[in-house]
Amino acid sequence: MPQGRRSIAAGWFAVPLLVPASALAHGFAVRYDLPAPLGFYLAGAGATVVLTFLALALWSWSRTSTSRTAPPQRVLPRAGRIVSNRWVAGVLQAIAAGFFVLVVAAGLFGDIDPYKNISTTFVWVIWWVGMMFINTFIGDVWALVNPWNIIFAWAEKLARAVNRNARLSLDLPYPRRLGLWPALILFLAFAWLELTWGEGEDPRKLASVIVRYSLFTWAAMVVFGRRTWLAHGEAFAVVFSTFARFAPLALGVTGHGGLRCEHGRETNAGVVTGCAACFEAAPPARRAIVLRVPGAGLLTQQPVSASMAAMVLTLLATVTFDGFLTTPTWIAIHEYLQALPLLAPLWEAPWMTLKLKFYLLETPVLLLFPFAFAAAFLLCCRLTSAVGAGATTGTIAGYFVLTLLPIAIAYHLAHYVVYLLLTGQFIIPNLSDPFGFGWDLFGTASYKADIGLIGAKFAWYTGVIAIVTGHMIAVYLAHRTALRLFSDGRRSLRSELPMLALMVAYTMISLWIIAQPTVQ
């Protein structure tokens, strides 16, 4: 079988590619991944279908009344006190702000070779991929080390030290209907920079983007207040905290009476869970770390807002789009669009450049992906609503959207494990010589990446196992959500069928992508 696949791949290589390096699919494009062989794809796909049906069979036989209760959690007040201890927090914040300044300075003044400059590896591998995994599998660490938050908070303190009544923020009321839309739009812009821009490897341009985003963020904090902007508009605070809903640890504030905190996060048994803004504002005695089963944070008592649902769907879509960019299918679409007679005058226009052509082909697809995901998801919610009766499509969407996240997390792991562990090693020499000036601060400047650290087989197994596991967690969460929504056992089981079908399809797409011959 691999032979057949290879010849297909070879065929694609032979096609004269008009696309300029279309698959510099990441800000820093050093990927050593081999596509997973067909056997891995088939085994993963088979396991996905069989296990989904097994789970359904199991649930249709057993009585599952206990599943209707909220998942258990443990509140750890002491851990909360440690995290918010002046010295612990101070050191963490100093390190985070230090790296932020270092990355920007290196980007602006260091060597322009992306391998010699710390900014590229730090931003694209260590921060964007690494921080994502820390937030997903540990807890919302980003909330504690977010340099935009830290630096603005320092400025606020400084202003108060100078003048007791000084306030940096105008604290204008944040329009409620804006929801998370500002964060969503900023995240889409970031996704474009990461996946389409193709200039993220240039330390100067990367630093200039960071500086602009920082100024914009701080300006927004001045207008709406620091915490409000972090909760609604700072793209990475919102994105990373969304992934952190999966994590076993969460920031918590005890002794809350209402159903939601003022930033819209839910309370569980009187504990606000996962709201960094509330955690920071609360008196130390009420701060805690909440321990829960991984994935439990994706079950909500009430439907999430429309903007939150859109945010999650956009995350799912961009994660998949990222992988889709390196498939032969994508190249075929590219070529089809370039050959369309309808578009020919556009491509031949005197102002058209190769790069602009590339942007024009890729950007609409990047923007279309979230809509396609949303359409498929809402269709399933509509079907669930028709079967389950009693709940509107919107409500069902608000309950179920987070249960899809484990599939995206798993795909992310499959997609990035090699990148993080092999390309991430560039950070070791970079730390000794962040600017590329020939320094050797820690004696690691001449470290060479060990490309044998993990092999292709390890990556394939990790990928397929992660994707199947993520799928099963998603299926289980959807099942629990259906049980909560529809009290009638039979109806609840039938009502979750559309969602399960969607999950199987989404998982299949993930598996399909990691098994595609890479085209670059």
Partner 1 sequence: MSDKAMHGPNAAQRNEALARVRSYARGRLTILAVLALAGGLFLAAPGYGAGTRTVDIEVRNGKVVGKNSVRVTRGDTVELRWVSDKPLELHLHGYDVTTHVVPGTPATMKLRAHATGRFPVEIHGEKKSSGGHSHKPLYYLEVYPD
Distance, CA of 455 to CA of 461 (rounded, Å): 10
Number of H helices, E strands in the chain: 23, 5
Q: Quick one: residue 225, left, alpha or beta (phi over 0 = left, psi -120 to 50 = alpha)?
A: left
Q: How far is the CB of 469 from partner 1 (least distance, A)?
A: 5
Q: How far apart are CA 506 and CA 372, in angstroms?
A: 12
Residue nearer to partner 1 on the CB measure, 270 or 390: 270
- On whether the CB atoms of residues 408 and 95 are closer than 8 A, the answer is no
- Which one, 114 or 233, has the nearer CB to partner 1? 114
Instruction: Compute how many other C-beta atoms are within 10 angstroms of the C-beta atom of residue 345.
Output: 9
* Structure-token pair, residue 1: 């079988």
How near is the Cβ of 64 to partner 1 at its closest, in Å? 7
Least gap, CB of 46 to partner 1 (angstroms): 12
Distance of CA 352 to the CA centre of its chain: 34
Evaluate whether 114 touches 201 at the Cβ level (below 8 Å): yes
Smallest distance, partner 1 to C-beta of residue 344, A:
22
- Specify the residue, 298 or 313, whose C-beta has the smaller distance to partner 1: 298
Which residue lies nearer to partner 1 by CB, 154 or 461? 461
Residue 155 beta carbon to partner 1: minimum distance, rounded to whole angstroms: 33
Q: Rounded to whole angstroms, how far apart are CA atoms 299 and 244?
A: 13
Neighbouring CB atoms inside 10 A of 373's CB total: 23
CB of 154 to partner 1, least distance (A): 33
Residue closer to partner 1 (CB basis): 168 or 298 = 298
Angle at 128 between CA 304 and CA 248, to 5 degrees: 50
Please name the helix (run of DSSP H) or strand (run of DSSP E) that holds residue 420, with its range, or none: helix 405-422
CB 18 → partner 1: shortest distance, Å? 12
For the CB of residue 411, give the shortest distance to partner 1 in the complex, in Å: 16
What's the full length of the chain, in residues?
520
Would you say 18 or 372 has its CB closer to partner 1?
A: 18
Q: Which is nearer to partner 1, 103 or 150 (CB)?
A: 103
- Side-chain half-sphere of 502: how many Cα atoms within 13 Å? 28
Residue 420 Cβ, how far from partner 1 at the closest point, in Å? 14
Q: Residue 490 burial by CB count (10 A; 0-12/13-18/19+): exposed, middle or buried?
A: exposed
Q: 104 or 180, CB closer to partner 1?
A: 104
Write the DSSP symbol of residue 122. I
Q: Identify which of residues 356 and 379 has a Cβ nearer to partner 1 in the complex.
A: 356
3-state SS string over 134-177? HHHHCCCCHHHHCHHHHHHHHHHHHHHHHCCCCCCCCCCCCCHH
Rounded least distance, CB 455 to partner 1, Å: 5
> Mapped to the 3 state alphabet, what secondary structure does 45-62 carry?
HHHHHHHHHHHHHHHHHC
Contacting positions for partner 1 (CB under 8 A):
6, 10, 13-14, 20-21, 24, 30-34, 47, 51, 54-55, 64, 66-67, 69, 71-72, 112-114, 197-202, 205, 293, 296, 354-355, 358, 418, 422, 448-449, 451-452, 455-457, 461, 464-465, 468-469, 472-473, 476, 479-480, 518, 520
**128 or 358, CB closer to partner 1?**
358
With 0-12 / 13-18 / 19 or more C-beta atoms within 10 angstroms meaning exposed / middle / buried, residue 454 is: middle
CB of 129 to partner 1, least distance (A): 17
When the beta carbons of 31 and 287 are compared against partner 1, the nearer one is 31
Evaluate whether 338 touches 361 at the Cβ level (below 8 Å): yes
**Alpha carbon 149 to chain centroid, angstroms:** 19
Q: Which two tokens stand for residue 274?
A: 């996962």
Nearer to partner 1, 246 or 358 (CB): 358
Residues facing residue 251 across a β-bridge? 289
Q: What token pair was written down for 463?
A: 């990928």
User: Residue ranges of the alpha helices (H) in 72-225?
Assistant: 77-83, 86-109, 118-121, 132-137, 142-145, 147-162, 181-192, 203-224
Cβ at position 504, least distance to partner 1 in Å: 15
Taking the least distance from each CB to partner 1, the nearer of 217 and 516 is: 516
Q: What is the dihedral of CA 81, 84, 86, 87, to 10 degrees?
A: 90
Question: Least separation, in Å, of the C-beta of 305 and partner 1?
Answer: 26
Q: Specify the 3-state DSSP secondary structure of 320.
A: helix
Integer Cα distance of 231 and 426 in angstroms: 33
